[in-house]
């Protein structure tokens, strides 16, 4: 059964121990598409994902989070953090089906086997996280996310530990597997944002604005001249804002 995600609107401000983190930002996440938060470290991108997921953060958020179907957001989220968060005492196979175990349900074994093969971990599924490279661990975390059937998916630098070839393969796999979901992606990579996202926000210190993006379909071919051109334009904007 296909899973389709709602549109989400986040509006508000956040404070940390040092004061204002971001001020009255408004983010509109398109239903069933990829939206990207792009920008330098330390401006609150990951924090915003954790707020959406209903997780503890170091900040106080004052504002509203509203879904277009008027249902709760946090209870319908799959969240992949920057770190892989694999349980060190569980095998890769057990980590990938962790969600089902926590819910007290049986994992779909056929689906798990297919995903493990798609992420290239079929020869490593009985190993423990300490036996894998950083890129393999990140692929295991991706596989765990793909096992979930939530309409909303939050991805925080999900491809950062992968080599270039594997990164493109995993981007295409995730885009296909999560088709129809509402996805918010945090990344530092303008090229990744351009290839995957129908809406791109650039978040800087206390400032947020909508950046240009390409028309569907996604993901885009990395050899597309429009991808290369917009990638450089976004990088110039980010560098300009940092100066």
Q: What is the percentage of the chain residues whose pLDDT exceeds 90?
A: 77
Q: Helix/strand/coil (H, E, C) string of 145-180?
A: HHCCCCCEEEEECCCCCCCHHHHHHHHHHHHHHCCC
Whether residue 80 contacts residue 145, with contact meaning beta carbons closer than 8 Å, is answered with: yes
Tokens of 133: 């490279």
145 strand-pairing partners = none
For 35-83, write each residue's pLDDT tens digit. Answer: 999 988 877 889 899 999 999 888 888 999 999 999 999 999 999 999 9
For 168-201, write each residue's pLDDT tens digit. Answer: 999 999 999 999 999 999 999 999 999 999 999 9
The hierarchical CATH code for the domain 8-242 is: 3.40.50.300
């Amino acid at each position: 059964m296909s899973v389709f995600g709602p549109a989400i609107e986040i509006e508000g401000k956040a404070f940390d121990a040092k004061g204002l983190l971001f001020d009255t930002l408004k983010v509109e996440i398109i239903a069933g598409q990829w939206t990207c938060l792009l920008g330098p470290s330390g401006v609150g991108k990951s924090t915003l994902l954790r707020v959406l997921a209903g997780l503890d953060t170091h900040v106080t958020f004052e504002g509203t989070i509203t879904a277009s179907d008027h249902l709760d957001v946090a209870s319908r989220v799959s969240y992949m953090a920057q770190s892989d968060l694999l349980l060190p005492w569980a095998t890769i196979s057990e980590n990938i089906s962790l969600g089902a175990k926590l819910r007290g349900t049986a994992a779909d074994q056929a689906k798990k086997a297919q995903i493990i093969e798609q992420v290239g971990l079929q020869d490593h599924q009985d190993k423990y996280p300490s036996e894998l490279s950083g890129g393999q661990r990140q692929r295991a975390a991706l596989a765990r996310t793909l096992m979930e059937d939530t309409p909303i998916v939050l991805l925080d630098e999900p491809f950062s530990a992968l080599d270039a070839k594997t990164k493109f393969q995993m981007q295409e796999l995730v885009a296909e597997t999560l088709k129809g979901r509402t996805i918010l992606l945090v990344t530092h990579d303008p090229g990744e944002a351009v290839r995957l996202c129908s809406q791109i926000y650039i978040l800087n210190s206390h400032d947020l604005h909508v950046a240009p993006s390409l028309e569907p379909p996604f993901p885009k071919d990395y050899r597309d001249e429009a991808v290369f051109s917009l990638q450089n334009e976004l990088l110039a904007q980010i560098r300009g804002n940092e100066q």
